[in-house]
């Protein structure tokens, strides 16, 4: 079964960071960039903004690295799920991620990983330039 994945178009991003705010609002009912599961990073030298987000890797090194079974794959969306109760904040998943995606929750002891908002990513809906979209995996 093909799943949707996030697609980021670098040239379309204007660096407004609305995706970050919508992500934190969706998950925590607060607009706080420290609680976002997608991050916009500015390269001042190149004058480009890029997104750091979970790519739901086929061979998810974050899941393999977790010794506490705190990470699993959602069978419907193929995203990586975090069990807040089982995560001990060891940060091994962060170290193993090739995309530097998982981040620590700013006040709790668990990681934040994009969960695709259960299948309808809020960041896609809010992006004014269409820099973040979805596509079928493998296309």
Summarize the confidence of residues 106-124 as an average pLDDT.
Answer: 94
Q: What are the tokens at 99?
A: 């995309």
pLDDT of 1 above 70: no
pLDDT of 59 above 60: yes
pLDDT of residue 2: 67
Prediction pTM value: 0.90
- Give the integer Cα–Cα distance in Å for 70 and 9: 31
What CATH topology corresponds to 4-136?
Alpha-Beta Plaits (3.30.70)
Summarize the confidence of residues 108-112 as an average pLDDT.
Answer: 96
In order of 102, 113, 121, the CA distances from 63 in angstroms are 11, 11, 21
The more confident residue out of 138 and 4 is: 4
The overall average pLDDT reported for the chain is 94
């Amino acid at each position: 079964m093909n799943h949707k994945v996030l697609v980021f178009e670098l040239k379309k991003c204007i660096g407004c960071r609305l995706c970050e705010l919508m992500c934190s609002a969706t998950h925590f009912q607060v607009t706080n960039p420290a609680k976002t599961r997608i991050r916009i990073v500015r390269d001042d030298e190149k004058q480009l903004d890029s997104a750091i987000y979970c790519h739901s890797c086929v061979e998810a090194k974050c899941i393999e690295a977790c010794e506490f079974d705190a990470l699993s794959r959602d069978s419907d969306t193929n995203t990586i799920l975090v069990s807040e109760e089982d995560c001990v904040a060891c940060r091994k998943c962060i170290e193993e991620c090739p995309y530097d995606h998982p981040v620590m929750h700013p006040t709790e002891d668990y990681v934040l990983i994009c969960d695709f908002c259960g299948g309808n990513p809020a960041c896609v809906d809010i992006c004014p330039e269409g820099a973040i979209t979805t596509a079928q995996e493998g296309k």
